Amino acid sequence: MVKRILAIIFILVIGFWIANALAKVPFGEDKMLVGKYYLENVKEQTGAINAVTAVVVNYRGFDTLGEVTVLFIASTGVAALLWRRREERSAEVDGSLILKTGSRVLLPFIMLFGAYIFIHGHLTPGGGFPGGATIATAFLMIYLAYKEYEIDHNLFEPLEGLSGVSYVAVGLIGLAIGGYFLFDWIWQIWEVGDIGRLLSAGFIPIIYTIIGIKVGTELTGIIDRMIKESKEVEG
Amino acid sequence: MIEHLPALVIAIPLFGAFITPLFRKRYNLAALWAILISGLTLVLVLLLEYQVLTKGMMIYVFGADKPTLVLPSGYRVPIRIMFQVDGIGAFMAISAGLMSFVGAVYSYSHLQKETGLEKYYTLLLLLTAGILGMVLTGDLFNLFVFLEIASIAGSALVGFRNYRGEASEAGIKYLIVSSVASLMVLFAVGILYGQYGHLNLAYLSKQITFNPLDMIALGLLFTSFAMKCGSVPMHYWVPDAYTEVPSGINPPLLVSTYASLYALFRVSFTLFGKITIDMATVGWIMSILGVLTMFIGVTMALVQKDVKRLMSYHAISQTGYMLLGVGVGLTVFHDKQALIEFGRTAMAGGVFHIINHIIYKSLLLLTAGALFYVTGTRNLNEMGGLARKMPITTISFMVGAAAISGIPPFNGFASKFLIYEAVYKLNPLLAIFAMVTSILTLASFVKVFASAFLGPPLEKYEKVREVPKPMIVAMVILAALCVLFGLFPDFVLDKIVYPAVDALINFIQYQSWGGLA
Amino acid sequence: MTSIGVYYFGAISLILIGLYAILTKRNLLKILVGLSIMETGVNLLLISVGYVRNATAPILSDYATPTNVVDPIPQALVLTAIVIGVATTALALSVAINVYERYNTLDIEKIRGLRG
């Protein structure tokens, strides 16, 4: 009880102090500095019309590489931590008939929608990460409907590793062609495509496809590990 | 090729780490691949240090199309992410590369009996990449991303031995503490971006002023990096994490803690340099924290029975030495004459102590891991009389214990002497505390030596032999470095340490991107 | 009235609620939920810093010119931060599963294998 009261007082004091100080940051005013430069030059320098995507992949592409690495660490860590001698799924019954039929019907549409999100990353909101999460949702639905289903580990794990390698490879090719790591060689040197069409924006669709596949397989792998439980070894 | 070194130093461990999970079940191949990649990284990092020493600060822009800074006309701000490598960044990068190589070599045989090892080596390489990114970057949000990479990889490795409940408990504590610290860093990034509209460290340090919002950002950043390096109010996660992690990861995990210490120095000296050059408060806070950490660490270590836990409490207390040394330098930052007289020496002592401590603490923890490998226990009361059976381990332990207590001619003496000498001129009381701590450290290690190695051999350890060769190689490398750094401290000081100290003091150089603008 | 920064009230209260949950709750899963709430609060604060009044999403087209769109940079930062938060939560939950399998309880007062 004492701990709670002390915690509440401490938190209220800190909150009041922070709120008072944050009054100095004006809300809703146009105070962009680098943002203005990005918005004015995004069409010529990157070829995308979605400024957020251009910032994520092109101008601050190194942070995205770090983010992909964090997800990879999470997936490897979950696989390492939840390793058991023998494991199995512990569900007792299948889902209901509606769930089974509905999931089979909806599966291709959800995967198509996810692919649409990450392929059109440079034109509409979205990109690789929501697209990959949608694909993982499709697999989660199948896990919930069928009690015996399991993904093919021999397909998913190498796919995940290879997508990661290809992201670093794209960066290294940029190094070789243009002189800097993660240099957008497709738009700047080869000049493929027009602004506003699907085939444009340099390597943004390529990187987002790689990220979409990687995130989808990783999240599905994490779901698979967490759903199983260890079987008690007899004797 | 040489000018692409900063990018290659990050790209090669990442590339190696993405390939490692493909070696399923062939653990020896995965281990050899990890040793190869970390050795390659070590060579690249040494080249980077040589480059920085001869040609000054190195700037590297990601994705730009000209080998100069991208400063479009009319704007005086950089547009892309930059890596800004100066003396202290290269110094920390050397320790990271060296420790990950030693850890990979040691793990080759330490973990013979475990499974799932290809994931272990993946996480080791990713931890190395995270630390290297954190110390080389010049962009605040990039620092946050690499800080998260290092903490998440570290906590996955802490909980790696999932058949022990204590390992999972240590893992969850480490993860919660580091997540809260990272969220506070992100909050500070939000505040600073809202005010100034940019994320580049050098640009921000030119714009920082003395208003309440920036003081809040300084407080948040200082607290969260102090939390992550194990100084006193938040040191509870350190013993648990260092004890439960597999011993081959102890060296990189130590470097990850000191990378947060580097980030603390970067924030105090460079980012808020315009403020701290006028006030001494931040420096006093750092020095007092240092003294408290030293004292509490060593007193709690005296009562421990578990050998690795005892060593981790000593690690906390030695962190106090570094905070004290650099804190003294920060306190006299505003006073030019005192700075030249003893501030610079104190900071050199603190920075030299970082690499010394990493070397001898890793040596001690690796010997503790060797004891665990051979006897299967970590409790000092159950061990005894192992000196005759494991001669090389005993000698390595003696070298490490002498180094940590500050006995000449080992490297601990060199850095501690610099700290005593300089701190005495600021305030004699602090120096007395430091010397008392040193004596208590010696007492504690004499006790460990007596219980584990001396005495009559127990019969349950009759069949014990010396540990396998890769573990011996790792320990001998570190012991040799202890002796070398102790016998030739001036060489190390001139080549590596004083450039790092000058890079911290001379933040104007950092602000102007090494003279480019 | 506006000298207290009411516009950031939502973000700050989420951060404080999350911090309260981490400090006082005893169940391990509730602490992780508190961590998640705190992450959401910080992300919300980052996005609201970039808001411009009467402006639209930063996807350039005929009526969304560079003068009336919001700032794209905080949105990119938050994208990264959300993914990092997901990774942390996934890892924390798997460590919590391991803790439950060994100690058979999720009460942090009882999980005290490491002492001293």
SS3 sequence, B83-136? EEECHHHHHHHHHHHHHHHHHHHHHHHHCCCCCCHHHHHHHHHHHHHHHHHHHH
Report chain C residues whose CB lies below 8 A from the CB of A230: 101
pLDDT band at A158 (very low <50, low <70, confident <90, very high): confident
pTM for this structure? 0.93
Asked if residues C61 and B141 have their Cβ atoms less than 8 Å apart, the reply is: no
pLDDT recorded at residue B135: 92
> B435 pLDDT exceeds 70?
yes
Mean pLDDT, residues B67-84 taken together:
62
- Per DSSP, A129 falls in state H
Question: Is the pLDDT reported for residue A212 higher than 70?
Answer: yes
pLDDT band at C1 (very low <50, low <70, confident <90, very high): very low
- Confidence check: pLDDT of B66 > 50: no
Q: Is B130 on the interface with C (CB under 8 A)?
A: no
- Express each pLDDT in C91-116 by its tens digit: 999 999 888 888 888 888 777 766 65
Residue of C nearest to A225 (CA): C94
A97-106, B68-77, B85-94, B198-207: the lowest-pLDDT one: B68-77
So what's the pLDDT on residue B154? Answer: 92
pLDDT at A28 over 50: yes
d(CA B333, CA B279): 8
Tell me the C-alpha distance between A6 and B156, whole Å. 33
Please check whether residue B170 touches C, CB under 8 A. Answer: yes
DSSP state of A194: -
For residue C46, the chain B residues in CB contact (below 8 A) are 186, 189-190, 193
**Confidence check: pLDDT of B106 > 60:** yes
Q: What is the mean pLDDT of residues B321-329?
A: 87
Is the pLDDT assigned to residue A215 strictly greater than 60? yes
Closest Cα partner for A52 from A128, A133, A163, A116? A128
Of the candidates A71, A181, C81, A232, the one whose C-alpha atom is nearest the C-alpha of residue B9 is: A181
CB nearest B165 (choices: C35, C81, C103): C103
How many CA atoms within 13 Å lie on the side-chain side of C32? Answer: 22
Give B490's contacts (C-beta < 8 A, 6+ positions apart). none
Q: Is residue C1 part of a domain?
A: no
Contact at 8 Å (CB) between B426 and B328? yes
Listed residue (B289, B317, B323, B324) closest to B301, CA to CA: B317
Cα separation of B344 and B258, whole Å?
Answer: 20
A173/A214: higher pLDDT? A214
ipTM: 0.93
pLDDT at B328 over 60: yes
Which pLDDT belongs to residue A122?
A: 83
Which residue, among B262, B242, B322, has the nearest Cα to B95 in the 3D structure?
B262
Query: Comparing A187 with C25, which gets the higher pLDDT?
Result: C25
> Please, are residues B107 and B31 in contact by the beta-carbon 8 Å criterion?
yes
Rounded CA-CA distance B24/B35 in Å is: 17
Length, in residues, of chain A: 235
Considering only CB atoms, which chain A residues are within 8 Å of C88?
Answer: 74
Q: Across chain C, what does the average pLDDT equal?
A: 85
Query: Which pair of tokens denotes residue B445?
Result: 């290690």
Query: What is the average pLDDT across B285-314?
Result: 86
Residue B71 burial (10 A CB sphere; 0-12, 13-18, 19+):
middle
Q: Do B152 and C88 touch (CB under 8 A)?
A: yes
Q: What is the dihedral of CA B205, B211, B213, B218, to 10 degrees?
A: 50
Q: Residue B171 and residue B153: Cα distance in Å, rounded?
A: 11
Q: Is B172 in contact with C74 (Cβ distance < 8 A)? A: no
pLDDT winner (highest mean) among A173-177, B186-190, B453-457: B186-190
Cβ contact, residue pair A22, C8, below 8 Å: yes
In this model, does residue B141 exceed pLDDT 80? yes
Helix (H, G, I), strand (E, B) or coil at A161: helix
CB pairs under 8 A between A and C: 144
Residue B271 CB partners (closer than 8 Å, separation 6+): B140, B201, B204, B205, B208, B221
Burial C83-96 (b: 16+ CB within 10 A, else e): bbbbbbbbbbbbbb
B21-40 residues touching A, CB cutoff 8 A: 21-22, 24
B63 pLDDT band (50/70/90 cuts)? low
Classify residue A18 as exposed, middle or buried by CB count within 10 Å of its CB (0-12, 13-18, 19+). buried
Which whole-number Å values give the CA distances from B385 to B307, B309, B391, B453, in the listed order? 15, 21, 11, 5
Mean pLDDT for the stretch of residues B15-29: 83
* pLDDT reported for residue B516: 58
Q: How confident is the model at residue B470 (pLDDT cuts 50, 70, 90)?
A: confident
Q: Round to whole Å and give the CA distance between B207 and B204.
A: 5
Percent of chain B with pLDDT over 70: 94
Residue B70 has pLDDT above 70, yes or no: no
Mutate which: C13, C37, C78, C91, vs B, most B CBs within 10 A: C91
What are the DSSP calls for B308-340, one per residue?
A: HHHHHHHHHHHHHHHHHHHHHHHHTTT-HHHII
What is the rounded average pLDDT of the residues A148-162? Answer: 81
Residue B97: the pLDDT is: 92
- Pick B120's closest partner by Cβ from A61, A80, A82: A80
Chain B contact present for A82, CB below 8 A: yes
Distance from CA of B143 to the nearest CA of C (A): 12
**Residues A126, B211: Cα–Cα separation, whole Å:** 38
Query: At residue B199, does pLDDT exceed 80?
Result: yes
Cis ω for the linkage preceding B409 (within 30 of 0): yes
* Count of domains forming chain C: 1
Nearest chain A CA: its distance from B28 CA (Å): 17
Q: Which residues contact C67 (CB under 8 A, 6 or more apart)?
A: none
Q: Sign (positive/negative) of CA torsion B447, B451, B456, B457?
A: negative
Average pLDDT over residues A108-126: 89
Does C29 contact A at CB distance below 8 Å?
A: no
Separation CA B396–CA B478 (nearest Å): 9
| pLDDT tens readout for residues B345-379 | 888 888 888 888 899 899 988 888 888 888 777 77
CB A204 within 8 A of CB A122: yes
B157-185 pLDDT tens trace:
998 887 777 888 888 989 999 999 999 99
Q: Nearest by CB to B15, which of A165, A179, A183? A: A165
**Domain of residue C16, residue span:** 6-113
Mean pLDDT of B244-262: 89
Confidence of residue C85 (pLDDT cuts 50, 70, 90): very high
Question: No. of H helices and E strands in chain B?
Answer: 22, 2
Contact B134, B85 (CB under 8 A): no
Beta bridge partners of A88: A229
What is the structure's pLDDT at C39? 94
Find the mean pLDDT for residues B263-290.
Answer: 84
Tokens of B411: 């490297």
Residues contacting A114, CB < 8 A, separation 6+: A131, A132, A133, A134, A135, A137, A138, A212, A216
The answer to whether B186 contacts chain A (CB < 8 Å) is no
Is B153's Cβ below 8 Å from some Cβ in A? yes
Residue A189: count of CB within 10 angstroms of its CB: 14
More confident residue, B185 or B283: B185
Give A109-118's long-range contacts (Cβ < 8 A, gap of 24+): A110/A134, A110/A135, A110/A137, A110/A138, A110/A141, A111/A135, A111/A138, A114/A138, A114/A212, A114/A216, A115/A212, A117/A212, A118/A208, A118/A209, A118/A211, A118/A212
**Maximum average pLDDT range among B85-89, C52-56, C111-115:** B85-89
pLDDT at B378: 74
Contact residues, chain C, for B243 at CB < 8 Å: 114
Residues of A in contact with B192 (CB under 8 A): none
Contacts of B297 (CB under 8 A, 6+ apart): B235, B313, B314, B315, B316, B317, B318, B319, B320
The predicted pLDDT at position A192 comes to 67
pLDDT, mean over chain A: 82
CB-CB contact of C34 with C19 (8 Å): yes
What residue of B is the nearest CA neighbor of A176?
Answer: B1
pLDDT confidence of residue A85: 64
Residue A189 at interface with chain B, using a CB cutoff of 8 Å: no
| pLDDT of the residue at A184 | 72
Q: Are B422 and B501 in contact (CB under 8 A)?
A: no
Could you tell me if C75 lies within 8 Å of chain A, comparing CB atoms? yes
Determine the distance in angstroms separating the CA of B158 from the nearest CA of chain A, rounded to an integer: 10
Contacts of A215 (CB under 8 A, 6+ apart): A71, A128, A129, A131, A132, A133, A135, A136
The most confident of the ranges B57-61, B63-67, B438-442 is B438-442
Collapsing DSSP states into helix, strand and coil, what is residue B467? Answer: coil
Position A228 scores a pLDDT of 79
> Does the distance separating the beta carbons of C51 and A226 come in below 8 Å?
no
A80–B67: do the CB atoms touch at under 8 Å?
no
Rounded CA separation B172/B234 (Å): 15
Q: Is-contact B98 B90, C-beta < 8 A?
A: no
Q: Give pLDDT, residue B68.
A: 41
| Chain centre distance of CA A133 | 6
Q: What is the count of residue pairs from A and B with beta carbons less than 8 Å apart?
A: 155
> By the 8 A CB rule, do B116 and B251 touch?
no
What average pLDDT does this structure show over A205-217?
Answer: 90
In CATH, what number is assigned to the domain containing residue C92? Answer: 1.10.287.3510
Question: Is the per-residue pLDDT at B213 higher than 70?
Answer: yes
Cα–Cα distance for residue pair B408/B7, rounded to 1 Å: 40
CA dist A62 and B145 (Å) reads 10
pLDDT computed for residue B459 by the predictor: 67
Give the model confidence (pLDDT) of A123-150 as tens digits: 888 888 999 999 999 998 888 888 777 7
Residue B68, helix vs strand vs coil: coil
Distances in whole angstroms, Cα of residue B33 to Cα of each of A68, B204, B255, B347, B508:
22, 41, 22, 38, 42
CB contact under 8 A, B156 and A80: yes
